[in-house]
Amino acid sequence: MSTTPLHELGLVELQRRLHAREVSAREVVEDHLARIEAVNPVVNAVVTLEAERALAAADEADRTAAGGGALAPLHGIPMTHKDTLATRGIRTTMGSPVLADQVPGHTDLIVQRLWDAGVIATGKNNVPEFAAGSHTFNPLFGATGNPYDPERSVGGSSGGAAAALATRIQALADGSDMGGSLRNPAAWCNVVGLRPSPGVVPMVPAPNPDATLSRNGLMARSVDDLALGMSVVAGPHPASSLRSPLAPEAFAALLDDEGPADLTGVRVGVSVDLGVGVPVAPEVRRAVLEQAEVLASLGATVEESAPRLGDADEVFDVTRAFDMATGLRRIVLEHLDDGMVKDDVIWNVRRGLELSAEQLMSAAEARGRLDAAVREWFDGWDLLLTPTVQVMPFPTEKKWPREIDGVALETYVEWMRSCSVISATRCPAVSVPGGFVDGLPVGLQLVGAPWSDDRLLRLSRVYERATRFAEQAPRL
């Protein structure tokens, strides 16, 4: 039997060993908890720990396994969950002093589906306050450090989740993505993060059941691990009005199908600035263009091209303001003057409350034009390649970059435009490890046509296996 430590195993292999009864759930959970103890003081990824609860659940899982019957897909897999996702009976703070002692009475659907599939909850991981921003710090728990350099940002808002993956605390992580919150931290932690198409992972419950800008999804250390996770969290739900043509089986099929050996016949459009002048640091630009050549060497046709995304900023900005106000206006108005909610959140909510009917109608029209432009472009192309993040990880004490490549930035969301422009579309987007600059990871963002999530992962896996960047773990 392999002597590889359990925490080094990917999700697919860990699942195989648990299902074969080669290892017990208690052994896996104990190893997971020991890993948290060993590395969490360095990165500050896990902020709430439920060790006794998890060990009791592991013992129950082992009793089930001893009975000899069929096991749930993710039987015995330990996970901490993003601290913005509600977990019944486990503290959920959203990184805010206002909710420091909140213990929800319900569980968000994505977490419940993981639990139903056999996942053992061990606690919560760190987030920016109310998930606002792509740099994980808050007044309750402080900053989460990058596993490749703990003095630098891990990204966000699913930053604790990405750090837990990269440091081998766990093999799968849940999260959410409005402006890049699954993709940005994945890029900076050398893991894979998928923002699914609308409705693939229903948002239940949700303040606005018709909202599509924010989406729940997963991160993992490989495409196959992510596909396994998606096979249990994807699928329709009666409480969601959004319907996806993708069934969970579409993701499970990836594990039974090796797929293409190369990218022959795949048409890839590459655009560093997405055709809308997104500023990108020179070292990131070089890295993306170098990897575009790798895609070409794998047989893809790679040319400079992108959809017409000129309406994307308006769609994102107005929709974000509206959605933030919908979800947070009561908390913000209650604590407007007591300093318990950070300024960036207040700014977002105020923008939403001040939106005019004309602005909402204009954004709706822009959405229609954007959808048409994206459909037209994907008639001729299979993938869009862009940077995931416009800059390299910056020091943790810095809230957000004030300029990129000489371009001044006015708000904390502008340095996330390489992701937020894509968020405005209905496209799935995945960040895959794309190499390193001075020891720090760079992520590539690959974008597919709406509801082509399974094909996007299949093609991404070809690149992943050819480069093997994801195998380069941090040295803590």
**Quick one: which H or E segment has residue 81?**
strand 78-82
Q: Which two tokens stand for residue 458?
A: 């299949």
What lies within 8 Å, CB to CB, of 240 at 6+ separation is 199, 202, 203, 204, 206, 209
Secondary structure string (H, E, C) spanning 210-227 = CCCCCEEEEEECCHHHHH
Q: Which one from 82, 197, 231, 452 is the annotated catalytic residue?
A: 82
Q: From CA 369, how far away is CA 374, in angstroms rounded? A: 9
CB 307 within 8 A of CB 414: no
What lies within 8 Å, CB to CB, of 364 at 6+ separation is none
What lies within 8 Å, CB to CB, of 367 at 6+ separation is 311, 315, 424
Output the CA torsion sign for 302, 292, 370, 214. positive
Q: From CA 94, how far away is CA 131, in angstroms rounded? A: 7
Q: From CA 282, how far away is CA 298, in angstroms rounded? A: 25
Is 124 tagged catalytic? no
* Bridge partners for 268 per DSSP: 302, 383
Output the CA torsion sign for 228, 230, 233, 236. negative
Give the neighbor-by-neighbor strand order of the sheet with 78-82.
46-49, 120-125, 78-82
CB 156 within 8 A of CB 133: yes
Q: Which one from 134, 176, 181, 423 is the annotated catalytic residue?
A: 181
3-state secondary structure (DSSP) of residue 152: strand
Q: From CA 130, how far away is CA 93, in angstroms rounded? A: 9
Query: Which of 255, 250, 272 shows the shortest CA–CA distance to 220?
Result: 255
Placement of tokens 């959004």 in the chain: 242
3-state secondary structure (DSSP) of residue 142: strand
Residues identified as active-site:
82, 157, 181
